[in-house]
Amino acid sequence: MAIAMKRLRSYLAGAWADGGESSRAVLVNPATEEPVAEASTAGLDLAGALTHARSVGGPALRELTFAQRGELLRGVAKAIHAHRDELIGLALINAGNTRGDAKFDIDGAAGTLGAYADLAATLGDKRVLLDGEGVQLGRSARFFGQHVLVPREGVAVHVNAFNFPAWGLAEKAACAWLAGMPVVSKPATATAWVAHRITEIIIEERLLPAGALALVCGAPGDLLEHLGGQDVLAFTGSGDTGARLRALKNVVTDSVRVNVEADSLNAAVLGPDVEVGSATWELFITDVARDITQKAGQKCTAIRRVLVPEATMEAVREALVERLGGVRVGDPADDGVTMGPLATAQQLRDVRAGLARLGAETEVVHGGGAVPSKGFFVAPTLLAARGAGDVVHAHEVFGPVATLLQYDGAAEAAALVRRGGGGLVSSVYSDDRGFLGAAVFGIAAHHGRVFVGSGKLAGHSLGPGTVLPQLQHGGPGRAGGGAELGGLDGLGLYQQRVALQGDRPLIEALTR
């Protein structure tokens, strides 16, 4: 059924604004390649949007206590949940998501906002957070110092990736709003419709103070050129783009605070103690198969490298081939489809090129099956490395692709994982505490998160691919060197740590 083209306007300085024709981008249904929406920022005053957020949204948020800001988050979470079915429908059309994948994104957005609303309730009627205990600074107890955290007086610009338009908006905004900073959200243009509709809902229902949220739909234009020393830039996307953002003249000159979440060659290690058919085995196979196919493999936390001891390699191959063989690829609007397309034509080109690169040192175990001729489809693909590999540790194929590698002992497993150059999350599946200790701490310094899979955890975990608001999301090296979420720590990106020193009773009075 043909869909009327939707014009996605930007929401800037408290008003909806439509850009000119010169940079108009067309959004398509990735399953059918049918145009569904368009967006442009040509001629829009993006610098003015930043000024409005700083001068109107910032003061309004800072005037509120943590508990009051938390109630704002709760209101947004409830609104997203109330419009869940509508948002799922948009995700099917604009992002090529199956219903399950769309729910994962939208429920993740509402859940993260709700989790931070709960956290805010524990902070109560405060506007300033103490950071650690105060300390006596001299011989007299009166000379006293105390670190505190206060909201920065700028604007938080969030440049989000195409794969999670709802969750990406919410996880960044939850921390910024609770910390007391206004947000200018820039979703990836290709899949911006869900983020646009969420913004419409927030504005229509007046869920936030004026100036607390702006939305840029279309090209970023000169948006980032107007950031200053009180502002924050949080980016999710490729490592190359992250490096260019860090090198912007004003970012360097004014020391703009930047957080980058980038590429990640996440790994899953199966311990030699794990028996075929055991609870730990089933957890491992389920998690790997899910990460290959969920969101068509377009997750920054997806498992890309699967490390297995020689004794169980053949059984792992057979189990994963069986799971992947049951996947039906096609238009998510069709009944029975369990994996949709990649999000864009460029993603399709990139995945095909990546598979060609990996082909130099791997063999295909499963994949290459028939997919619809129209749309941006790739079959779920399992590769096996010939030897330790080089490209497989250097190039991430951002799609439904994973590579099997063989290892001998915890030390070699950890060494192979470390060759990924830093990651968001890797996982170790074992019930052997000795192996777990060697493997987990052999890779811990190279990751933002390590998932420990064991038999007792089966049935109690969402797997390593799920980002939880209580734990940090980010990682060193290739992964961008940033950190988001992590409970209360997530607010730190948007706060200034200040040391107050002086007469103890005065300092304590001020901080109360």
Q: For residue range 41-63, what is the model confidence (pLDDT) as tens digits?
A: 999 999 999 999 999 999 999 99
Residues 146 and 192 in one domain: yes
Q: Is pLDDT of 202 > 60?
A: yes
Residues 113 and 230 in one domain: yes
* Mean pLDDT calculated for residue range 263-292: 97
Which residue type sits at 494?
Answer: Y
Residues 222 and 271 in one domain: no
* Beta carbons within 10 angstroms of residue 406's beta carbon: 18
Which residue type sits at 174?
Answer: A
Residues 58 and 147 in one domain: yes
Residues 251 and 320 in one domain: no
Residues 323 and 244 in one domain: no
The number of domains in the chain is: 2
The answer to the question of residue 159 being in a domain is yes
Residues 346 and 462 in one domain: yes
The answer to the question of residue 181 being in a domain is yes
d(C-alpha 294, C-alpha 138), whole Å: 58
Residues 287 and 355 in one domain: yes
Q: What is the CATH number of the domain that holds 335?
A: 3.40.309.10
The answer to the question of residue 476 being in a domain is no
* Mean pLDDT calculated for residue range 263-271: 97
The answer to the question of residue 478 being in a domain is no
Residues 278 and 258 in one domain: no
- Catalytic residue positions? 261, 300
d(C-alpha 310, C-alpha 331), whole Å: 38
Q: Is pLDDT of 474 > 80?
A: yes
pLDDT above 90 coverage of the chain, percent: 95
* Mean pLDDT calculated for residue range 243-262: 96
Say if CB 479 and CB 267 are below 8 A apart: no
Residues 503 and 387 in one domain: no
Average pLDDT over the chain reads: 96
The answer to the question of residue 146 being in a domain is yes
The answer to the question of residue 36 being in a domain is yes
Q: What are the tokens at 316?
A: 């792992």
Please give the order of strands across the beta sheet that includes 35-39: 6-8, 35-39, 25-28
Q: pLDDT of 399-443, one tens digit each?
A: 999 999 999 999 999 999 999 999 999 999 999 999 999 999 999
Give the pLDDT band (50/70/90) at residue 460: confident
The answer to the question of residue 1 being in a domain is no
Q: Residue for token digits 């130099």?
A: 360
pLDDT at position 1 is 44
161: buried, middle or exposed (CB in 10 Å: 19+, 13-18, 0-12)? buried
Residues 242 and 113 in one domain: yes
Full residue range of the structural domain in which residue 308 is found: 267-470
Of 245, 158, 169, 233, residue with least CA distance to 200: 169
Q: What is the CATH number of the domain that holds 20?
A: 3.40.605.10
d(C-alpha 360, C-alpha 248), whole Å: 36
Residues 359 and 402 in one domain: yes
